[in-house]
Structure 1
Amino acid sequence: MRLAILAVGHKLPGWVADGCAEYLKRMPRELPLSVVEIKPEPRGSKTREQLLAAEKGRLDQALQGFARIVVLDERGADLTTLKLAQRLENWMQEGGDTAFIIGGADGIDEELKRRASDMIRLSSLTLPHAMARLVLCEQLYRAVSVVKNHPYHREG
């Protein structure tokens, strides 16, 4: 099974790329994680719907081959790390590659949200997209650590 974060956006600070790279290399060989940048649609005079539709087209191309889509959304399930680990373990048992989608500045197309297998949120706080990407990388690594009984995650 492979995991991928499909994130709309580009030109992120170096510390985000460095942080994500650190967690990507820590992932176990049997559960590789990648980050795929999806080019945001130039704003110009386009409506929000036009922007989201263009980004949806790019996301759809990147989603080919993924059996499971998990959308990050402010209205998604509020999971603890242990709950995320349980979901990850279930997905591993079910098989099939999993893609996590972080939308652009205008969000994610509604049709794509309806197609998602799951919707989760990282925080009740509004996070910058760069921070969301890094937090998701870390939390997926932490969830794998929980599943594998690795000492990285410690319950207080």
Structure 2
Amino acid sequence: MRIELIAVGTKPPRWVREGFQAYSERLGRGWRLRLTEVPAGAGRGSSNDRASAEYETQRLLRAVPPDRPCVVFDERGAALSTQQWAEHFERWRHQGGEVAMLIGGADGLGCAAHARADACWSLSPLTLPHMLVRLLVAEQVYRAWTLLSGHPYHRA
């Protein structure tokens, strides 16, 4: 299973980099979690935050192969359990073994990301810092892998 996490932002704090790396290295044989970073847009505080989100979205989408299933993260998306994450990964594994997951920047994702997405998931109804989302996604990918592998890390 190859999971491509494509995220806005190129300078995560050290604890995010180290945490992401730790979870991605724990994945077992045949599983790979890779991070692709795209530069942020014009920045917060401008009068055109929506334009910044659209610009960042175009950068994210250029990194997604056209035939790959795609998930976007949004606080208004579907709230899935870890078991449901594992079920999706199992299905994708049998349908080519690849998925792209998109994390927007501080201004969120543009409409084109939602239009391209096969699914929109929420990690929480809270608005989370986009750098923290990387780490949470990595942990949940690892936890889903443990479920599918029968590893004792996951406790229901």
User: TM-score w.r.t. structure 2 length?
Assistant: 0.91
Between the aligned partners of 2:9 and 2:3, the Cα distance in structure 1 is: 19
RMSD between superposed Cα atoms in Å: 1.7
| 1:37-76 to 2 correspondences below 5 Å | 37-43=37-43, 45=46, 47-64=48-65, 67-76=68-77
- Report the TM-score when normalising by structure 1: 0.91
CA–CA distance in structure 1, aligned partners of residues 18 and 71 of structure 2: 24
Q: Aligned partners of 1:10 and 1:76: how far apart in 2?
A: 25
Q: Is the 8 A contact 1:65 1:97 kept in 2?
A: no
Distance 1:34 1:66, change over 3 A: farther
- Gap runs ≥5 in structure 2: none
- Residue 128 of structure 1 deviates from its aligned partner by 1.2
Matches within 5 A, 1:1-156: 1-43=1-43, 45=46, 47-64=48-65, 67-155=68-156
Letter matched to residue 8 of structure 1 = V
Q: In 1, Cα distance between the equivalents of 2:145 and 2:46? A: 43
**3-state DSSP class of the match of 1:120?**
strand
Match for 1:4: what amino acid?
A: E
Does structure 2 retain, via aligned residues, the 8 Å contact 1:67–1:96?
no
One-letter code of the match for 1:70?
V
TM-superposed deviation, 1:126:
2.0
Whichever residue aligns with residue 56 of structure 2, its letter is E
Deviation (angstroms), 1:82? 0.9
The one-letter code sitting in structure 2 at the alignment partner of 1:117 is D
How many pairs does the alignment contain?
Answer: 155
Q: Where in structure 1 are there 5+ consecutive unaligned residues?
A: none
Whichever residue aligns with residue 37 of structure 1, its letter is: E
